[in-house]
Structure 1
Amino acid sequence: MAEIDNFLNEILEKRGSDLHFIAGDPPRIRQFGDLMPLRPEKLTADYVK
């Protein structure tokens, strides 16, 4: 399974909607109207290319 599929499955499990990838920040989802970190690790610039 591709890494993006893992993120999308986590969004569904947590009843989130949007997925935000920003270099230097952890991946975030919109959950019940608020942006929440999905994982604690910060994303690198190479990862979000």
Structure 2
Amino acid sequence: MTTVARQRMLRAAGLLVLAAALGLGFIGYLRPSFMVDLTNMVLAWCG
């Protein structure tokens, strides 16, 4: 894989993570109880 292709994939992955974080933040702003439930599910799954 070339360096340019690797940079593009990393940039795309970073943008995807940023979009997911912003989306979850917006949902948390609209429905805080959903974020509490989601956090509890993640914590329970992690042990």
TM-score by length of 1: 0.32
Q: Which one scores higher on RCO, CA 8 angstroms, separation ≥ 6?
A: 1
Q: Which has the larger radius of gyration?
A: 2
Tell me which protein shows more helix as a share of its residues: 2
More strand by percentage = 1
TM-score using structure 2 length: 0.33
